[in-house]
């Protein structure tokens, strides 16, 4: 890979280039990479900022929400003076303030059964920063169908979870961990149960770390492992995951071949 760097870029990424595991070749890989962030909220905010700072060449972000005062306790890409602004526009502004050379592809839309495969297929790695199970399962299914690596994180109250799913490389998929969404109302959302703001910052930053590792091909992948962090006890747990041979999405007898099941009964394409 032969991507040229300007003098400004060499200075900006000098601490990366000094790392034997990164160097100029690794930095070129980051510059050539295309990463999609689904959700510009609590997880997507630190994730986007660190991806931009690291030199990811193209960051896509999809979100149909606007900045609200209640977001600012944890969604650090947004500011008080941007209340009412589309989150993708605010996040784009924040990312470019850190790295003016980053190419941000902002999609002010909701991921749906109609656009998910096309959207996800444009990127190398997909990051799930959403806050509802409908969209999580849509992203997970689309990533398997499009053979894209998924870096997924979730938070609630004082706890966070993180894993990397890439069944196209032999690992388990999201449905190997959670076969189906829980019944509506059984698992509260952050807006119902609350979340300590910094927990989203920690987990979003860990997501960014795993993205960089996947692109650079360094370290131990989280594929096949679920990392669980309890902020109150300051403890991490590492749970082993294995492909489920009966998985409806990635198993030998998979029954999920498209995203039709994600279409609401009324025929509309909204999800999540």
Residue 73 lies inside a defined structural domain of this protein: yes
Sheet holding 34-38, edge to edge: 103-107, 58-62, 34-38, 125-128, 149-156, 159-165, 225-230, 235-240
Number of domains the chain is built from: 1
Does residue 269 lie in a domain region?
no
For the stretch 71-118, pLDDT in tens is 999 999 999 999 999 999 999 999 999 999 999 999 999 999 999 999
**For the whole model, what pTM was predicted?**
0.94
Residue 238 falls inside a structural domain: yes
pLDDT of 101 reads 96
- pLDDT (0 to 100) of residue 189: 83
- How do residues 208-263 score in pLDDT, each as one tens digit? 999 999 999 999 999 999 999 999 999 999 999 999 999 999 999 999 999 999 98
10 is a domain residue:
no
Q: What is the pLDDT of residue 265?
A: 61
The CATH number of the domain where 247 resides is what? 3.40.50.720
What is the structure's pLDDT at 26?
98
In a domain, 182, yes or no: yes
Q: What angle do CA 109, 115, 117 make, to 5 degrees?
A: 135
130 belongs to a structural domain: yes
pLDDT band at 191 (very low <50, low <70, confident <90, very high): confident
Both structure tokens of 150: 């998924």
Task: Kindly state whether residue 15 falls inside one of the protein's structural domains.
Answer: no
Q: Look at residue 266 and tell me whether its pLDDT is greater than 50.
A: no
> What pLDDT does residue 4 have?
84
Per-residue pLDDT at 230 = 98
Domain containing 186: what range? 22-262
Task: Please indicate, yes or no, if residue 272 is contained in any of the structural domains.
Answer: no
């Amino acid at each position: 890979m032969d991507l040229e760097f300007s003098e400004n870029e060499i200075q900006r990424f000098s601490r990366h280039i000094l790392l034997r595991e990164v160097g100029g070749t690794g930095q070129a890989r980051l510059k050539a990479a295309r990463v999609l962030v689904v959700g510009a909220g609590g997880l997507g905010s630190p994730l986007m900022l660190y991806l931009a700072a690291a030199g990811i060449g193209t960051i896509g972000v999809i979100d149909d929400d606007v900045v609200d005062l209640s977001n600012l306790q944890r969604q650090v890409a947004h500011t008080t003076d941007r209340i009412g602004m589309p989150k993708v526009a605010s996040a784009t502004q924040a990312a470019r303030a850190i790295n003016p050379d980053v190419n941000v592809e902002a999609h002010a839309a909701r991921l749906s059964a109609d656009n998910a495969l096309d959207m996800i297929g444009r990127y190398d790695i997909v990051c799930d920063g959403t806050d509802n199970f409908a969209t999580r399962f849509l992203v997970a299914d689309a990533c398997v169908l499009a053979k894209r690596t998924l870096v997924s994180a979730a938070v609630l109250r004082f706890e966070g979870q993180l894993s990397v799913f890439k069944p196209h490389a032999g690992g388990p998929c999201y449905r190997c961990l959670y076969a189906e969404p829980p019944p509506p109302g059984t698992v509260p959302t952050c807006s119902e149960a609350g979340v300590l703001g910094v927990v989203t910052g920690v987990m979003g930053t860990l997501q960014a770390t795993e993205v960089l590792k996947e692109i650079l091909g360094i370290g131990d992948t989280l594929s096949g492992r679920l990392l669980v962090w309890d902020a109150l006890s300051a403890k991490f747990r590492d749970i082993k995951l294995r492909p489920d041979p009966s998985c409806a999405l990635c198993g030998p007898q998979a029954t999920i071949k498209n995203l039709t099941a994600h279409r609401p009964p009324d025929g509309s394409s909204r999800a999540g």
